[in-house]
Structure 1
Amino acid sequence: MNNWIVIPILLPMLTALVCALIPASKIALQRALSLAASLALVATGFFMISQTMSGEIFSYAMGNWSAPFGIVVVVDRLSAMMVALTSVVALCVLAYASQGADKRGPYFHFLFQFQVLGICGAFLTGDIFNLFVFFEILLLSSYNLLVYSGGQKRLKAGIHYVILNLIGSALFLIGVSTLYGITGTLNMADMSLQVASLGAEDQAILQAGALVLMVVFALKAALLPLYLWLPGVYGAATAPVAALFAVLTKVGVYAILRTSTLIFGPEAGVGADLIEPYLFPLALMTLFFGMVGAMGSHRLRHMTGYLIIASLGTMMASIGLFTQASISAALYYMVHSTLIMALFFLLIERVAAQRGPFTDEIRIGWKLTQPTLLGLIFFGAAVAAAGLPPFSGFLGKLLMLQAAIGEPGGFWMWAVILFTSLLGLIALSRVGTQVFWKGSEVAADRADQVERTTALQAVPLIAILAILAAYSAFAGPITEYTDEVAAQLLDPQQYIDAVMVEPAFFPDTAGMSDDLSNKDH
């Protein structure tokens, strides 16, 4: 039995429910439980990677109702990798939040665990409607986490975020309904089979439904022109929430990658042919305008939001080439960008806490009281974010540039990535000069406005930097794994064979499936 597949869904769900029952006065107990569950999730994520390294794909049929009649949860190399990434980010963010940020409002650990539940569920589900369900779970949690600790700025950003995602959810339902109406199934593996067998007269409806879904996923992945919401929303959130949000956009990237290779692949007559003419140029423009936004930002939080947009454009441009090498490079870079952006949000809060009224403004203000500690962390993060050696950002961009050689649009990818890397270096250098190097001494009567970073607050930041260093040091075996992930994605028949097993419901009733299939509906 593959019962272990549902652990990343059940573990945060049960943890959230128990945390909701624990009184707010016993915050230490909530922290201990939440941290223990997050640590167990990390172990589960890497166990999944170890299980899928051989190439085997595991599925679990809820209630023993096998596909396409029931809901299935599926673990392949990609979903295992994404669950492991989510668990690592969640553990580091939670360790930071447990130093006091979780006391700024009620039910932090409940909401945090439900957010993790929605993210992991989206990566594991084999049913496209349940992908919508998990999207809604993570969105509901994110709405509450965004306005966590209150404030007019967060409330305003939260209203915009809710309205935008309600529109996206409505479009998601329209797209799913269209595909269900034409294929008669919601299981992604079965839908792949049904799409491949559709006649020419159904292609227009199929493409319309597929494009509606791609618009929704592009909204989640913050692609041009649907990225304008991100800097304001991420800039308004508290540091731990914004750091966890670094994973949210990757759910949109995952959805585009999964559906375009599994359901709408070349065998279906859509997929790559449908989105390739748009995805690659839109991704490059997203990268360019994202980095221009980072150059023009006046606050560190907004700058980090634009850096996320630029990194999303970078990886989506590589995915848009739809080759094994380009997808592998994009996946390697995805892990790097998620970790480095989570680190930036946590670091920014520590910097803002020592600048008094200047907070996270990118201008000369008070000198930091811990310039060595925070400066060194920023230097390492900036080098990694700008794509300079020896960190993983450089290796990821190098792999993507190598994959673009000889491909249509390869010249533009080289030009845009190299130019925007220079812009990123300039933007981060400006921050280093105006925030970390120059500044005035804090007056003695204002020393109470400065909050020093404790050792426990610094540990998660240093841990993420150490993980990034290890990620670069072990780039060889890691890229071998991402190569295998890309190869498995481009061979969707493996996924279909693992999911579409003989129906197991009513196991003691012979011929029941035949009776059901012959019944007039």
Structure 2
Amino acid sequence: MLLSLLLPLAFGALLLVGARLPLSVQRAIGLVGVLCVLAAALGVLARTAQGDILTTAIGGWPPPFGIVLVCDRLSALMLTLTGLLGTAALLHATGGGDAAGRHFHALFQFQLFGLAGAFLTGDLFNLFVFFEVLLIASYGLLTQGGGPARTRAALHYVVLNLVGSSLFLLGAALIYAATGTLNLADLAGRLGHLEPTEARLAGAGGLLLFTVFALKAALPPLHAWMVPAYAAASAPVAALFAILTKVGLYAMLRLLSLLPDTGSGPAFAGSVTWLLTGAAVLTITAGSLGALASTRLGTMIGYLVMLSMGTLLAGIAPGTAEGLAAALYYLVHTTLITAGLFLLADLIASGRAQGDRLVIGNPPRDVRILAPLFLLGATAIAGLPPLSGFLGKTLILIAVQNPAAIAPAVWPWIWAAVLGSSFVVLLGLSRAGVLLLWRRRGAASRQDSVANAVECRPGLARPALVGTSALLAASPLLMLLAGPLTGFTLATARQTLDNGDYVAAVAGFVPRASAVSEEGTDP
């Protein structure tokens, strides 16, 4: 488990020291690094697939006093997604996108380090620390290449996230004042036994943390940083950022899993469900309208990321294992497909004089390659059959029809938002496809068309095409493997919502319900 954290840190430090090495050498080191990270993540996924929860106490200090790293099915799933995205994005970057900044490869590895830490940490303070690592690395990646648009987007991104960092510290301080701990497993045991005054204090801290996580997840009205940052970033950075908003959702889910047990019903209900449902409908609506009004393909994909966050919240809102399982399946789908679309948008833009602006112009010379990829990505992200987006949304819509969790008068609103968003996305992407890949400007000569296009030549562009194709091809693969994947996500959801095994793993004893593997110091 520690390898998932230490490998990107070690490779990042190596690349930082070797910043003056030839770019080809940096690329080789970076690719070896992300492949090692992916291999480590797959190893952890295999170890946790049977329900084992891996724990490591840093320095041998027992929790809740020391730093503890915890990896269950959910953490392993997010680590694997990070490794897959990192590999595809860096492959694309080797096509030339990494030449704009001297420290691109080092910052890329540090971004992977921050993501791994956020998914593995077992306490709120170290979650804050890894959030700051993510903020610093992502700011550096966002500004690679310079330019007023990137500088402005980076400034907004940093300012809003620094405000979020301040609120995070305040919220954590309130929770510590009420409970005397920041360890997640310890919190799960203490939250149900607080005095009324302490409970109100902890509730205020939890509300602040929920606000911070909503900011990280780019939920309206806290989404102002996200679309400009994603649209301004280079394609490999934007692709890696596709999982950045999922960190906020992951942290939110961990916080919700700490709530006291409600018995045999949903894991959480009442005001929490209403809050999540309202946020889901609002986010889906805002993302749909933003995508339809976009004037650039990169901006449209940024809004599609926001829309997907609303769909994920809709699955989480019921507080049931079935709803969370559907959301996790959809999370894998939308993370890979939106990342692939960011990479595809870069390939299209590099072949047009008009870039990715949605205006009439000459299609890229490699339109016969790019058009099928665009069709695959558009069909998948719109949620049309027979691809994984359709199955993910269908499972979510079935899950929200739970009268014990969501009032029968409410779930039709979720249905309307999810189905309506699919129609709006289909309209927007159809328009984009016609303008970018089909319609020509007047009677442009072939010479003008060739002059305004860049062929995907072997060498520089081939790795970019491989990374893009691999991500978009994940949709039919997820559909083919739907049986075992939905079984895995259901087991993951049950383990996440029933935090007994998580608490037991950190406390160091084995419960009767399932096997829990404890590691003293994972090498």
Q: TM-score, normalised by structure 2?
A: 0.92
Structural mapping, 1:436-447, within 5 Å:
436-440=437-441, 441=444, 444=447, 447=450
Letter in 2 for 1:55: G
Correspondence for 2:17 among 7, 18, 21: 21
Distance 1:211 1:274, change over 3 A: farther
> Does structure 1 residue 292 correspond to structure 2 residue 289?
yes
Residue of 337, 342, 345 corresponding to 1:340:
337
Matched, 1:8 2:4: yes
What is the correspondence of 1:286-435 to structure 2 with a 5 Å cutoff? 286-356=283-353, 358-407=354-403, 408=406, 409-435=410-436
Q: Indicate if the aligned counterparts of 1:294 and 1:302 stay in contact, CA closer than 8 A.
A: yes
For 1:97, which of 93, 103, 114 is the aligned residue?
93
Structure (1 or 2) with the greater helix fraction: 1
Query: 1:276 is matched by which residue type in structure 2?
Result: T
Q: One-letter code of the match for 1:485?
A: T
**Which ranges of structure 1 fall in alignment gaps of 5 or more residues?**
503-521
> What does 1:104-503 correspond to in 2, within 5 Å?
104-263=100-259, 266=262, 272-356=269-353, 358-407=354-403, 408=406, 409-440=410-441, 441=444, 444=447, 447-454=450-457, 455-501=462-508
State the secondary structure of the residue aligned to 1:105: coil
In the TM superposition, residue 450 of structure 1 has moved relative to its aligned partner by 3.0
- In 2: Cα distance, 1:129 partner to 1:320 partner: 26
- Which string of whole-angstrom CA distances, capped at 9 and with x for unpartnered residues, describes residues 224-246 of structure 1? 21112211111111111111100
Q: Which amino acid in structure 1 is aligned with residue 418 of structure 2?
A: I
CA 61–379 in structure 1, closer or farther in 2 if over 3 Å, else same: same
Deviation at 1:272, TM superposition (A): 4.7
The letter of the residue matching 2:138 is S
Q: How far off its partner does 1:483 sit?
A: 0.1
Matched to 2:142, the amino acid is: L
RMSD across aligned positions (CA): 1.7
1:195 & 1:275 partners in 2: Cα distance? 16
Structure 2: segments with no counterpart, 5+ residues: 510-523
Give distance in 1, aligned partners of 2:208 and 2:272: 11
Q: Which residue of 1 aligns with 2:515?
A: none
Q: CA deviation at 1:447?
A: 4.4
Q: State, as a whole percentage, how many aligned pairs show the same letter.
A: 42
Distance 1:266 1:35 in 2: 46
Give the CA deviation at 1:327. Answer: 0.5
Residues 1:99 and 1:192: Cα distance change in structure 2 (over 3 Å): same
Bigger shift: residues 406-415 or 219-228: 406-415
Structure 2 counterpart of 1:451, one-letter code: V
Q: Contact between 1:265 and 1:272, CA under 8 Å: does it hold in 2?
A: no
Provide the aligned length of Structure 1 versus Structure 2: 496
Alpha carbons 1:367, 1:442 under 8 Å: kept: no
The answer on whether the counterparts of 1:195 and 1:263 sit within 8 Å (CA) in structure 2 is yes
Which runs of at least 4 in structure 1 moved beyond 6 Å after TM superposition? none
- What residue identity is the alignment partner of 1:217? F
Change (3 A) 1:270 1:483: closer
Q: What is aligned with 1:514?
A: none
Instruction: State the partner residue of 1:515.
Output: none
CA distance in 1, matches of 2:68, 2:463: 41
Whether the 8 Å CA contact 2:19–2:103 is kept in 1: the answer is: no
Question: 1:324, CA displacement in angstroms?
Answer: 0.8
**Conserved 8 A contact 2:269-2:318:** no
1-structure distance, mates of 2:200, 2:65 = 27
Deviation at 1:26, TM superposition (A): 1.6
* In 2: Cα distance, 1:448 partner to 1:6 partner: 50
Q: CA deviation at 1:97?
A: 0.4
Q: Deviations over 1:287-345 (max 9, x none)?
A: 01110110011111111111111010001111011111110000000011111111111
Matched residue of 2:98: which SS?
helix
User: 1:196, CA displacement in angstroms?
Assistant: 1.8
Kindly report which structure 2 residues correspond to 1:43-122, keeping only aligned pairs within 5 A, or say none. 43-122=39-118
> What is the CA–CA distance in structure 2 between the aligned matches of 1:136 and 1:294, rounded to whole Å?
30
| CA gap 1:426/1:449 in 2 versus in 1, 3 angstroms | closer
Amino acid at match of 1:100: G
- Give yes or no for contact 1:384–1:391 (8 Å, CA) kept in 2: yes
In structure 2, what is the Cα distance between the partners aligned to 1:470 and 1:447? 35
Could you tell me which amino acid in structure 2 is paired with residue 71 of structure 1?
I
Query: Secondary structure at the residue paired with 1:133?
Result: helix
